[in-house]
Structure 1
Amino acid sequence: MPTRRSILLACLAMTAITAPSAPAQPAPSDALAKAVQGHYQQVRDFTASFEQAYVGGALKRKTVERGTVAIRKPGRMRWDYESPEKKLFIADGTRMYFYVPADKQVRVSAMPESGRVPTPILFLAGRGDLLRDFRAEEVPVPAGATGSRALRLRPIRPEPEYDTLTLVVDGTSFAMRQLIVVDGQGGTSTFSFGNLRENVGVADSRFVFTMPKGVDVVTQE
């Protein structure tokens, strides 16, 4: 299911890191990666609205979903999908829950071990490092992303859930605008963020999942 596999987040912004006293200047890709990572390390939590556009399958059909997201480090996430269908994804730091009310089903799985390559959702929840876990390359920005910069990330070790991540950030503030995920089947998820707010003190109660009555529980280890 593209929703669960490609749920991602982003909340990154800062000025580019420079090192004038160093013998050699960093490559542009390295400087951008350091800038993004430097700000990301200072972010304790964030909230945002999002639009997710997914293109995949043999006919390359496009689906669009919208909702809100809340993240709190380490490892706590809440994705509320509001349209066109209600869905809820919660990670409480130990387990992950994916609930689709129309299906009357909850999928439950353990958080991946810290030693494995981080999934997109875990990277921005405090379980990854741009400079350690990925090969970073600055690439042209997508059409319409005027004034932005784009950083494509390839995991150093193969990751079954995705091939590449691309962070599209504001060219001046480095605030996140988009996060693009390409999976192993050629599907592409593009998350566009709005109303982004950082370090707002998101309460722990936002990440508590209460099992609904009358649902089937599917446990995946």
Structure 2
Amino acid sequence: MRFSKYWAALFAGVTLMAMSAGAMADGVSQIKAFVAQVKTARGEFEQHQINHDSNGEPKSRQEASGTFEFARPGRFIWIYQKPYEQLLQADGEKLYVYDKDLKQVTERKLDASLGASPAAILFGSDDLEKNFVLKDLGARDGIDWVALTPRSKDTQFQRVAIGFKDNNLAAMELHDAFGNTTMLTFKNIQKNPHINLSHFKFVMPKGVDVIKG
């Protein structure tokens, strides 16, 4: 499965991440501070996706890595650099998924569904508790974890958990309705750098097929 296809669904209506912005006592406090204070950010990520068979046994593992940057609400650039180059980019109104190998761009509206998805934690507005029920999960392996349960029933994810370490984003776990688990880990994060909003305007590559969703 192409990572872009998987994450396009997540970004468009069902998924992604967080980081802290101060010295906080637990995961819930840190995620609230992130939503209130971190308006722009950039950093690096590693992604590990484990698929399961009908019996719940792991059957495959996919790995990827790359960079991200965002300006809330609704603007982001998520780049897969390995194992192949792919781009997900949103300008606040539309989401573009560019598959370089296939020379194909998928374009779709970035609508209100973002607000009820885990992606809204990173890219959305500051109404986190309007869309999620937060529950502190305590510390595990030196990371403070918080669970986010979507208030909306229209979601592909059964569980979402976000972890913080030393007041910074450390990891995110996504458990979808198909029995698959995706783990994201983060590093080299810059909080609130100056990013011109024109930076998020997508420039259509030459010679690509455009598919509008």
Q: Specify the TM-score bucket, using the shorter chain as the normaliser.
A: 0.7 to 0.9
Secondary structure of the equivalent of 1:54? Answer: strand
Indicate conservation of the 8 Å contact 1:117/1:155, yes or no: no
- Which aligned pairs between 1:19-168 and structure 2 lie closer than 5 A? 32-58=27-53, 59-113=58-112, 117-127=115-125, 129-139=127-137, 146-168=141-163
Shift of 1:131: 2.4
Residue in 1 aligned with 2:181?
188
Shift of 1:46: 0.3
Which residue identity is paired with 1:55? I
CA, structure 1 residues 32+168, in 2 after alignment: closer, same or farther (shift >3 Å)? closer
- Any stretches of 5+ residues in structure 1 without a counterpart? 18-30
Shift of 1:139: 2.4
Indicate conservation of the 8 Å contact 2:27/2:164, yes or no: no
- Cα-to-partner distance string for 1:75-109 (whole Å, 9 max, x where unaligned): 10001110001000001000000011111111111
The whole-number CA distance in structure 1 between the counterparts of 2:69 and 2:200 is 9
Equivalenced residues, count: 201
The whole-number CA distance in structure 1 between the counterparts of 2:175 and 2:126 is 18
The whole-number CA distance in structure 2 between the counterparts of 1:6 and 1:113 is 13
Which residue identity is paired with 1:14? G
Which residue identity is paired with 1:156? R
Residue in 2 aligned with 1:15?
23
Indicate conservation of the 8 Å contact 1:123/1:129, yes or no: no
Shift of 1:141: 5.1
- Any stretches of 5+ residues in structure 2 without a counterpart? none
Report % sequence identity: 26
CA, structure 1 residues 100+216, in 2 after alignment: closer, same or farther (shift >3 Å)? same
Which residue identity is paired with 1:86? E
The whole-number CA distance in structure 2 between the counterparts of 1:89 and 1:131 is 26
Q: Which has the higher strand share?
A: 2
Q: What TM-score comes out, normalization by structure 1 length?
A: 0.82
Higher Cα Rg: structure 1 or 2? 1
CA, structure 1 residues 129+33, in 2 after alignment: closer, same or farther (shift >3 Å)? farther
Which residue identity is paired with 1:212? P
The whole-number CA distance in structure 2 between the counterparts of 1:190 and 1:211 is 30
- Cα-to-partner distance string for 1:107-160 (whole Å, 9 max, x where unaligned): 11111226x752222331133533222122222556xxx321111111111132
Indicate conservation of the 8 Å contact 1:95/1:110, yes or no: yes
RMSD: 2.1
